[in-house]
Amino acid sequence: MTLFRLGYVAMSVHLHNASPSQTVTYKRFAQMKDQEAAKRKLERTASANLQNCLRLLKHNKAHDIQFFRLSSRLVPLATHEALQGWDYIGPIKQDLKMLGDYAGENRMRLDFHPDHFVVLNARDQEIFQSSITVLKYHYLLLHHMGIDPTHRCVFHLGGRYKDKESSLERFIENWALVPKGIQKMVMIENDDTSYTLNDCLYVCEKLQIPLVFDLHHHMANYDHKEWEENWSRVLETWTHSPLPVKMHISSPKSPEAFKSHADYVDPDMFLTFIEKTAGTTDQIDCMIEAKQKDEALFQLVGELRKHPRIKMRSESSFEWMR
């Protein structure tokens, strides 16, 4: 039997005034005359973000949701080069621990998806180094939450640079320069413009990195449309992970804007995926990437539970009955 578990991204459309991504822009920060006071403002914002994050986890618990992507913007300007040397962890240690403890007590799977500024296959050393800085920031947050950082941070292979083959190989070369602790934290996802499922499998198998399969990206960018033929290879990349297989689910906004995320998830496409993968592994955690966030999850569950072969195991998890 395969347990399918649903999660959502970073913020709730139901919980008001609970943004975990409040910020102070660098421009505003630089305008403030008292730099120490400005740093205190950053710290207060970070603390408020973490408090809001805790509210989100409580909301998730109330709805039986145990899978959640944390915002990468919890600490404003944490990795900005003008703020090197700023101890952004110290002032929020208690908040981080409280969040991590709550997640642990309630067996929640939390992870991160830093945005497109992480480019490990960069040609430019500075871009590579700033990518490492961003990953280290994620590592420290996890560490101080008391969460094992293994396989908690997903991103893409990087740029194509007009030569996909050599750019793919450069990811492998650069990987040797990535600190071991950060290597263990990483998962790789197929993207919608450059690196396909095949490309990612090649790298993930070589470097022993779990592959997060994004079905929507696959439909926008593939070598072989039939992903099923490679599904067992995807599962294999998770063999040595302490965590269940993870994937991303979203639907195209429209045929014209195919790559954009729709407000909600199309249940039919998802049901097809479920039918094809049910029974292939113990558990698959599905991250819902939709504009309507948790509401999209609720609506999807509402549709799924009407299906005769779907047996709900909680408000956000289910099995497929053969």
Partner DNA sequence: TACTGTCAAGTTAGG
Partner DNA sequence: CCTAACTTGACAGTA
Nearer to DNA, 77 or 249 (CB): 77
- Please, what is the minimum distance in Å from the beta carbon of residue 80 to DNA? 4
Select the span of 16-24, 91-99, 210-218, 313-321 touching DNA (CB under 7 A).
16-24
Site pattern 267..306 for DNA (x: CB under 7 A): ----------------------x-x---------------
Is residue 26 a contact point for DNA (CB under 7 A)? yes
Q: Distance (Å, rounded) from C-alpha 315 to C-alpha 81?
A: 43
Q: Which of 80, 233, 307, 309 binds DNA (CB under 7 A)?
A: 80
* SS3 per residue for the chain: CCEEEEEEECCCCCCCCCCCCCCCCHHHHHHCCCHHHHHHHHHHHHHHHHHHHHHHHHHHHHCCCCEEEECCCCCCCCCCHHHCCCCCCHHHHHHHHHHHHHHHHCCCEEEECCCCCCCCCCCCHHHHHHHHHHHHHHHHHHHHHCCCCCCCEEECCCCCCCCHHHHHHHHHHHHCCCCHHHHHHEEEECCCCCCCHHHHHHHHHHHCCCEEEEHHHHHHCCCCCCHHHHHHHHHHCCCCCCCCEEEEECCECCCCCCCCECCCCCHHHHHHHHHHHCCCCCEEEEEECCCCHHHHHHHHHHHHCCCCCEEECCCCEEEECC
Nearer to DNA, 134 or 249 (CB): 134
Is residue 12 a contact point for DNA (CB under 7 A)? no
Q: Which of 15, 55, 143, 161 binds DNA (CB under 7 A)?
A: 161
Total chain residues near DNA (CB under 7 A): 40
Q: Which of 21, 283, 299, 314 binds DNA (CB under 7 A)?
A: 21
Select the span of 60-68, 78-86, 268-276, 295-303 touching DNA (CB under 7 A).
78-86
Nearer to DNA, 73 or 218 (CB): 73
Both structure tokens of 254 = 């429209």
Nearer to DNA, 19 or 317 (CB): 19
Nearer to DNA, 98 or 127 (CB): 127
Q: Which of 122, 212, 234, 245 binds DNA (CB under 7 A)?
A: 122
Is residue 193 a contact point for DNA (CB under 7 A)? yes
Q: Distance (Å, rounded) from C-alpha 194 to C-alpha 170?
A: 14
Nearer to DNA, 78 or 154 (CB): 78
Select the span of 15-23, 141-149, 224-232, 314-322 touching DNA (CB under 7 A).
15-23
Binding residues vs DNA (CB under 7 A): 11, 19, 21-29, 45, 73, 76-80, 115-117, 119, 122, 124, 127, 130, 134, 158-162, 193-194, 257, 259-261, 289, 291
